[in-house]
Amino acid sequence: MPTDDNPDQTPGAAPPPIRLHVTAATVADIKTALAAGWRDMTIRPALSLFFGLVYAAFGGLLMAGFMVFDQVWILIAVGVGFPLVAPFLAAGLYEMSRRHARGEAVVTSEVLLVVFNQQRREFGWMALVFLFAFWMWAYQVRLLLALFLQHQPSQTLESLATLVFTTPEGFGFLAVGSCVGAALATALFSLTVIAMPLLMDKDIDFVTAMITSVKTVRASPVVMLGWGAVVGALSLLAIAPMFVGVIFIFPVLGHTSWHLYERLVSAD
């Protein structure tokens, strides 16, 4: 029989699915979310910068490992694909912004525990999506290098940079690689820009989260893809000086992503 709280639901029945509503983004939404993200970082700068430091250290060690083992070619894949894994690593920043928005205390141990507990939720499946996209990108880089620079030696980072930026083959590699990378980045951005904070906030499956994320991009493609281009440019700029910029830019973008999600997605 129906319950008093919900006349349409019988005792013991599963709760109705969450209905999500998407709002088209505007430039004002981006600016407001960015300002809120900066504010969140200044509230607890040490904890926010800690996540940035971990992200930067991970990227630096990853690149150093490839250089030690003479896998110089993959540095291009890592350098461009590195920002693609950022939303998964930003779980702690999402939780901090969530607590700030609700007036809750931000306790370091609790925030770290929330990040650890995401492995038991749908975040794990999203991690596989990111890793699959990253390795697909790395494979494409390797394939394009073989097609365009197969007869050219590139055992060091300097020789590889010389080949890529000063030879006709290198220009061809950059042109085709940029198109492939842009297509992959656009698809992944559309699937995940809202999905990761949504999974943090709601008990839903990762497929629903990705569909909702795509809907937000389709609702305002120019604004959202423009924001994606800004995120990509800032991420690459942060990586350039030996990952130092990542320490500062990553927390701001992580906090901003949460506030953008709250502005664009609502639920019954």
Mean pLDDT of 11-33: 82
Is the confidence at residue 118, as pLDDT, over 50?
Answer: yes
Q: Where does the pLDDT of residue 1 fall: very low under 50, low under 70, confident under 90, or very high at 90 and above?
A: very low
CA distance 119 to 137: 24
Is the confidence at residue 14, as pLDDT, over 80?
Answer: no
CA distance 235 to 35: 18
CA distance 16 to 27: 34
Mean pLDDT of 39-48: 93
Is the confidence at residue 15, as pLDDT, over 60?
Answer: no
Q: Where does the pLDDT of residue 41 fall: very low under 50, low under 70, confident under 90, or very high at 90 and above?
A: very high
What type of residue is 76? I
pLDDT at 65: 63
Q: Which helix (H) or strand (E) holds 40?
A: helix 27-43
Is the confidence at residue 102, as pLDDT, over 60?
Answer: yes
pLDDT at 5: 47
Q: Where does the pLDDT of residue 223 fall: very low under 50, low under 70, confident under 90, or very high at 90 and above?
A: very high
Mean pLDDT of the chain: 80
Name the DSSP letter for residue 119: G
Mean pLDDT of 145-168: 71
CA distance 160 to 164: 6
As given in the structure block, the two tokens for residue 111 are 């925030």
Please compute Rg for the chain using Cα positions: 21
- pTM (2 decimals)? 0.78
